[in-house]
Structure 1
Amino acid sequence: MAQHFLLSAASRTISLKAVLRMDNAEAWATFRRLRWPETQGEPVCPHCGGCICYDVARGGSPRYRCRACRRDFSPTSGTLFAYHKLHVRDYLAAIVIFVNAVKGISSLQLARDLGVSAKAAWVLGHKLREAMASEMKGAMVGGAGAVVEVDGCYVGGHIRPENRKEDRKDRRLAQHQTGKRRVVVAVRERDGRTLTSVFRSEEESAAFIRARVERGSTIHADEAASWDDLRARYAMKRINHKEAFSFADACTNQAESFFARLRRAEWGQHHHISGLYLHRYAAEMAWREDHRRDANGTLFSRLVARVAACAQSVDFTGRWQRRAG
């Protein structure tokens, strides 16, 4: 029997041990190489794009001055790691831990692995999720001849049943719910990428799907009436899950595969996901599902590059130094 990819040496091209053995200079060289691949790690001014820069560091972290605009910057300037408090090696180690966790990792576990506070680990985790989500920002899926699967998964709003049977209520009825329940809608192209968004109901997602799925696509969905409005724009195939998981080439199995990963992340790692941050966790799981066949070294390089390409986080930079809105 052929060996599964995740059990092979090809899936392990970087390790936490290798990162922790780096000294400060090696860690900075790795970050620079992934931030500025066009110049093989030579600094490029984030303010004017100038390539002629010289070192003005006086010990500690590297620092450069642009010859063109005369402004100083560091390798993390203008990135998600701007104004960083930890050593760069700690950030690289956090990324290795993050990409190796196939079902995600809780902030408490990340805090214990890195030896930082839970607040610091929480912010760091959300910055990495922001970098993951940026990979599909504004992207479209589908196109002529492409198959796109659409489905929804309701998350949150759990109501604990009463102890005595006679006191229990029908939790399916709207009047007995908390109003916190949200649906994650996944739009997944066969052998392609996954787009996610969060809504109060599946019906609200029609505009999102029309905006992000190219014309000419064939959409596969279940028999829920929520998807009926898509017939006017796309060819559709429907599957009744009460009868079969797939029938006559119609199925939503790849969308369900994504939801399985999201559910296991919620149950096994986070235990509870706030509706305010649900879209971030959904985007993280979509990134993990789309790159599940990539080696962990590739995932590491890809995520570090996305961190460097993203601007300073509006939501999480200085999160605990100011009052959260």
Structure 2
Amino acid sequence: MAFPVATRPAEEYNAIIYDGDGPEMRKQGTHFLKSARRATWSLWRVAEMTEEEAYERFLKHRWPRTAGQPVCRFCKCERCYTITTRRIFKCSACRRTFSVTAGTQFNSRKITFKRIIAEITTFVLNAKGISAIHASRTVGLNTKTSFIFNHKIRETIAIKRGDLVLSGEVEQDAAYYGGHVRPGNTGREGLRPDKKQPKKLPKKRAVFVMRERGGNTVTRVIESETTEEILAANAKHVAPGSVIYTDEHKAYGALHARYKTYHVNHRLEYVNGRIHTNGAEGFHSRMRRAEIGVYHRISSHLLGLYSAEMAYREDRRRVDDASQVWEVIEMMLATPVSRVWTGRWQKTAWC
């Protein structure tokens, strides 16, 4: 599934407000999150739905090509009849039964369709992410259930975005996450922290972001900012002939052989005309706020899921709430059963 970025002209969604009360007052636009175009869905809308209405929406998003009419997941036959007492379908060709959530990320669900929509709505409406504890208290689920559910959403997003290819002008930058060093029991006055020490921690990882100007954002978790890692990420996600903007790090020097590359020396300046990495650095700024203010700690083996989530939020920041909710549901219905998060709390080991 493609992930187009909404690039509506400002005049289409901005209301006009004025800053100041004199003749020099300047016209400003309302932030999209405050505009009426964004507020197309809410938890109140979910509360007004019936369980039957929620089920009908799942049917339409599971089989959009047939307008919600079931298609056999085994033989693809469209001649299926409904067993209404159990909300399952039986194929007239292979005689096998299936449900609307069978073989998807919602496989073996235990909660109602209405509550599933409420959980996804809570996930989508929080622009900087939402913790499992907060989501569970909002929707009324067990914390473990919200934890698994939210990670299934992140896994779905990461799978769907795994093969994105960027072109045109692409900004690139990397930042390190995790491995926080607790301050020692000494005064800070006169002491200068060792900035290299956190990078030596085994749990610390770098998130390498590639952000197409006016397009999509792709993230990749790497051990460190090396030439090999940078070349491998670009070979998979950046089309030949693209124009790349980076900082002065030496690892980006090898990109000259395949791309037209420009560097900005941050020790001297941050912007030189169109040569800057402000878009990529803006992504890291918002992800850092999510790490510090929402999740508090991100494990290194889950960093790829969290970075994919934040990249998705970054690309959909100008899309209304309802479109995002139904897009996530449709993606999860089109994604096979998770082999990582299914049975997470069972006694068997997981990795």
TM-score of Structure 1 vs Structure 2, range by shorter chain: over 0.9
* Paired residues of 1:43 and 1:53 also in contact (CA < 8 A): yes
Q: Which one of the candidate residues 23, 31, 47 is aligned to 1:4? A: 31
Is 1:229–2:254 an aligned residue pair?
yes
Structure 2 counterpart of 1:74: 99
**3-state SS, counterpart of residue 187 of structure 1:** strand
Contact 1:19 1:89 in 2 (8 A): yes
User: What does residue 25 of structure 2 align with?
Assistant: none
TM superposition shift of 1:174: 4.9
Q: Tell me which amino acid in the other structure corresponds to 1:157.
A: G
- CA displacement at 1:209 relative to structure 2: 1.5
Aligned residues: 320
User: C-alpha deviations, 1:197-247, integer Å up to 9, x for none?
Assistant: 111111123211122211000100000112111111111111112222211
Structure 1: distance between partners of 2:192 and 2:99: 59
Residue type at the aligned position of 2:72: C
CA contact (8 A) 1:107 1:125 kept: yes
Q: Are 2:186 and 1:164 equivalent residues in the alignment?
A: yes
Alignment of 1:1-325 (within 5 A): 1-59=28-86, 62-142=87-167, 146-165=168-187, 170-174=193-197, 177-203=200-226, 204-321=229-346, 322-325=348-351
- Change beyond 3 A, Cα 1:176–1:304: closer
CA offsets, 1:247-298, max 9 Å, x none? Answer: 1310111111211221111111100000010000000000000010000011
d(CA) in 2 for partners of 1:190 and 1:38?
Answer: 33
| 1:4, distance to aligned residue in structure 2 (A) | 2.5
Where do 4+ consecutive residues of structure 1 move more than 6 Å?
none
Give how far 1:57 is off. 3.4
Between the aligned partners of 2:112 and 2:187, the Cα distance in structure 1 is: 55
Structure 1, unpaired ranges of 5+: none
Contact 2:180–2:198, Cα closer than 8 Å, also in 1: no
Unaligned runs of 5+ in 2: 1-27
Q: Would you say the 8 A contact 1:159–1:177 is kept in 2? A: no
Tell me if structure 2 keeps the 8 A contact 1:186–1:194: yes
Cα pair 2:198 2:204 within 8 Å, conserved: no
TM-fit CA distance, 1:165: 4.4
Distance in 2 (alpha carbons) for counterparts of 1:173 and 1:149: 25
Q: Distance in 1 between matches of 2:317 and 2:218?
A: 15
- Aligned CA RMSD, in angstroms, stands at 1.8
**2:183 alignment partner, SS class:** coil
**Do the aligned residues in 2 keep the contact of 1:159 with 1:171 (CA within 8 Å)?**
no
Whole-angstrom distance in 1 between the partners of 2:30 and 2:97: 51
Kindly provide the CA deviation profile for residues 67-124 of structure 1, in whole angstroms up to 9, marking residues without a partner as x. 1111101100111000001111111111111110100000111111122221111100
